[in-house]
Structure 1
């Protein structure tokens, strides 16, 4: 780490990944140092943590005290941490001079298992009661949660102490068969003809144990009786709430097995979901407030990926303009907001995810997130968002309200013409409709892919007549074509977004100079909404045609009317002064 990097981390303050330990008042003991390392190692995000010794909580650099005589030996610090952590944590330590003070910087790698001090003390990095990062005690269920986040533990496959076969409801097993039968080939039809016990074994819900059977968490979640779930799996709960503003109209909580819950939530969804129609050719196409497939996948994901070691309910909230689906437990390790659409599936509870796939509830590919986005966008709705998600929970928002029926019609027409639009196409078209224009870099961020792929996708939309480009190279922007705006019922929007032709740019600049006497390249770029290079080329054409004259060079350059046109300017227009001296007035006789 360079001193500049260190200064940047200090300026950003303490976070879940960065901890300050000041030694202005007293030296930091070896035990406290090791405990701070353990705290940073027990973080769920999979990234390195940083312990900065010699920096106070308020960010003041007061310096680290020498730990080995008159100096600090970084290698001995590394050995200390390795010897006093279980399993051993191999940190990287170095001393960096900053503001004439020595700062001991310790990089703590992400570990695959919970870490403790050599005397068995477990702590974790989390947000404390005051809203600031802190080191908190790490309980056993939190260790399980951490391992599940990292894909090292499948909580749904663990046996449940005290659970019996009688705690499972045969009606729920029959419900599972019905789901498979109604899945139209998506489910595992081989399960239908199995006996109740064999079906439970095939799913991994029950295992043979010492001549009998042990019930796993999966078995209770899928087939458990309500009383058994309440007694043996108290963290499992689902809430359905309907809200009008701040007024709660419905507030129901359930401790039912998952398939029964799924049926109930879908029934409530259908009862509230209204639909409009658009005519595509001779066919009427329904455009619902919320796509059923998107809601199904959103609810299924919340049930599959929730952290069942944490107390808290999965919430399905029906608002006037949106549906919110939240679940306890953040994204699994490696899944972030900026890679949701491209990362590989990482279910927190793999056995439960597999059971939902075999029931035909979710995509067998594990790409349900694509379905949520695709179905929402093709109905002319804003894209779903997960922006309220954090390390303690995932929140999906499906925007509702009045949809863009013309956009839905366009998508349907493209499909009927055997030019079906992919998810990336819908993301780009939706953004161009709402934001009016995109750069290639912005498009790449939107579809979460490299710029080369974003450019290729946009170019195909250009070839399909849906999009047009403007500008060159890095200054290129993209906007909807005139034909697309017409199909969307926005005839004037194309003219506004397409901007001005080069001759209009020139006239705007000349008018500006006539009014203000001069113009700089930056002013020309802002006036015509061009990049600096584009503005430079327009100004060069005006100079070449002798309609403007350049004064100065590089950043100090400005442009004014040529000397022969100065007489047409008013005295206060700011044009350059003529170099010849004015004639002296005649004396009166």
Structure 2
């Protein structure tokens, strides 16, 4: 059998290939390549591989005894600590450098810096790092609060007193901090960080101050990246298409007004109660939109966009990826972090944003409790955060089950229980340990919620002891009109799925997801995906390749 390739087949934002075939790569170029990766996310640098992925190996004259990792550390500022490993790939020798992401920015000793980026065609490149890149990176890593810095060239005359009146009205309407209403204008601006005092005692607007209370002309001049696009689509027809560059509170008011004619509700009778089911919960929109405004990268020349396709759902995107410490996998558990702390704090204190910093929780809870799928952040990248909110018809049978549970138990399901039910719908069958691992919550807490759902006949248990697994109950599957799926889950436990996948892998051939689906009758595509990911995270399988060419093998 042909040996599986161990290294990536193509370059990416975290993978760089450098040729050493025709002549040894110069140390200066090697140092800059490492700097380029470190100034983004870090990644893997392979010496001895061509740009097209062909492995050509090291040049015969290269000094194999030289410590290239030490060379890179000695020629970077601050010193870049990386590891270097010699590999054999396809019978040729190459060097693999593991470049970690760093705090701040790294330069060569002669003051040069590159940063990994994508060109207009989506191809990874190393480009010169600008002063804006350095500021943006410091802001991303929460070393500098851009929103709290004085806006260059702005004066207090650029602040609009009418917007201060609007801000005070927001405090009253959304029950913000009542003490803010007792302050004078200057005291209010200072308390919210909208102005700062200069060395001479004069007041200067901060970026947050301009964004909340600035006239439009100085906003355009001082913060050219600020813009908000709002579109409503019905099929191919554009019902609304507006781009706004005014102060944030005015923008929020205008978009809310334009959104209102499209907001609809239907009522569901559950026992003696009538439950309103909106096509888009207003709290979900507000939290998603305010999050985009509060946490976007204002140094980027790109707008926040709100696009509502009335037949599918709403998409809200903002420039700037997740700040350090926040990822797709820990969105619901990471401590609240902001790219713009002064701006985010002001929005919380006036009542427009979730004060506890758990706005994402409210978005998930709001959609799940009205019988819709969870919000998706899957399209987010290093440069943009994208959230998709489903407005497809709600599953009213599910809502009836949730409401019936609430009436019988005397309390709502709550976010954690809704997430447990969502995961079981996505992955069919999981143990309490697997649920707690994926939810990143305390196992005892998760087990308690699962047992409550079991008592409420929303979840069914199978097996005993540590191997006990859970599925959605028969009545919940009936709400999804998936009675056959319930019968399939009753016979295929997670342990059985893992065991049979490992048996397939033990045959010695590289395993594909297609092979798993063919071998395990009744297994769904997403179940196979999750099972393979689970076995890889446990170190019981090793993945190779990417996309449709991805294969899996047992560890050596």
Normalising by structure 2, we get a TM-score of: 0.82
Q: Which residue of 2 aligns with 1:193?
A: 182
Give the 3 Å change call, closer, same or farther, for CA 27–286 of structure 1 in structure 2: same
CA–CA distance in structure 1, aligned partners of residues 463 and 520 of structure 2: 15
CA contact (8 A) 1:49 1:108 kept: yes
1:32 aligns with 2:21: no
Distance 2:113 2:298 in 1: 21
Residue from 32, 54, 58 that aligns with 2:52? 58
Query: Are 1:382 and 2:373 counterparts?
Result: yes
Cα displacement (A) at 1:248:
2.0
Equivalent of 1:459 in 443, 448, 451? 451
Match of 2:95 in 1: 104
Deviations 1:234-255 (A, max 9, x none): 1100011111223322111111
1:73 pairs with 34, 44, 66, which one?
A: 66
Q: Secondary structure at the match of 2:328?
A: coil
Offset of 1:38 from its aligned partner? 0.9
Stretches of structure 2 that go unaligned for 5 or more consecutive residues are 492-515, 524-556
Helix, strand or coil for the counterpart of 2:305? strand
- Confirm or deny that 1:155 pairs with 2:138: no
- With structure 1 as the length reference, what TM-score do the two structures score? 0.77
Separation (CA, whole Å) in 2 of partners of 1:446 and 1:308: 33
SS of the aligned residue for 1:300 comes to helix
Query: 1:169-568 maps to which residues of 2 (within 5 A)?
Result: 169-184=160-175, 187-209=176-198, 210-320=200-310, 321-417=312-408, 418-432=410-424, 437-440=428-431, 443=435, 447-449=439-441, 457-471=449-463, 477-484=469-476, 488=479, 493-494=482-483, 497-498=486-487
Give the direction of change, closer, same or farther, for the CA distance of 1:489–1:40 in structure 2 (3 Å limit).
Answer: closer
How many residue pairs are counted as aligned between the two chains? Answer: 493
Cα distance in structure 2, aligned partners of 1:96 and 1:483: 55
Cα distance in 2 for partners of 1:106, 1:489 equals 49
Q: Structure 1 pair 145/371, CA: closer, same or farther in 2 (3 Å)?
A: same
The equivalent position to 1:13 in structure 2, one of 10, 17, 36, is: 10
Who wins on radius of gyration, i.e. which is larger? 1
Is the 2:150–2:204 contact (alpha carbons within 8 Å) kept by the matching residues of 1? yes
Deviation at 1:311, TM superposition (A): 0.4
- What displacement does 1:420 show? 1.9
Task: Summarize deviations over 1:395-442 as a string: whole Å, max 9, x none.
Answer: 11111121112222332333334132121211233455x559323377
CA contact (8 A) 1:374 1:426 kept: yes
Structure 1 residues 277 and 446: alpha-carbon distance in aligned structure 2, compared to 1, 3 A threshold = farther
Deviation at 1:282, TM superposition (A): 2.4
How far apart are 1:79 and its partner, in Å?
Answer: 3.3
Summarize the Cα distance change of 1:500–1:300 in structure 2 as closer, same or farther, 3 Å threshold: closer
Counterparts of 2:120 and 2:226, CA distance in 1: 25
Deviation at 1:146, TM superposition (A): 1.3
Q: CA–CA distance in 1 between the matches of 2:16 and 2:438?
A: 33
Contact residue 194 and residue 209 of structure 2 kept, 8 A: yes
Q: How far off is 1:179 after superposition? A: 1.4
Corresponding residue SS for 1:326: strand
Stretch moving more, 218-227 or 275-284: 275-284
